[in-house]
């Protein structure tokens, strides 16, 4: 298992679910579905830098839609760390 830092994100627009489309990691673009699959399968772990510290990326499942999405572990800061990343 390898750990990778996510540096940029591609937002899918201003729709209600605010699900991200993909991410830039070491200069390569990966879709959100690839990242979710790697985390769920235990193949890789991902993190972001937030307010000067490393924060792990986690997979969650939406209670109503059942759709998987990414978030970061609780770090005590209200803004969404993945949405705050620069655009790809």
Residue ranges of domains in the chain? 2-72
Top pLDDT among 46 and 65 is at 46
- Res 38: pLDDT: 98
Query: Tokens standing for 71?
Result: 């978030």
pTM: predicted TM-score of the whole model, two decimal places: 0.86
**pLDDT (tens digit, 9 = 90+) per residue, 3-49?**
999 999 998 766 666 678 999 999 999 999 999 999 999 999 999 99
């Amino acid at each position: 298992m390898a750990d990778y830092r996510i540096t940029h994100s591609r937002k899918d627009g201003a729709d209600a679910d605010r699900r991200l489309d993909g991410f830039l990691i070491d200069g390569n673009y990966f879709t959100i579905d690839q990242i979710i699959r790697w985390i769920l399968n235990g193949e890789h772990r991902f993190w972001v830098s937030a307010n000067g510290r490393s924060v792990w990326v986690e997979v969650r499942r939406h209670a109503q839609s059942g759709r998987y999405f990414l978030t970061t572990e609780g770090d005590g800061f209200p803004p969404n760390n993945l949405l705050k990343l620069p655009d790809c």
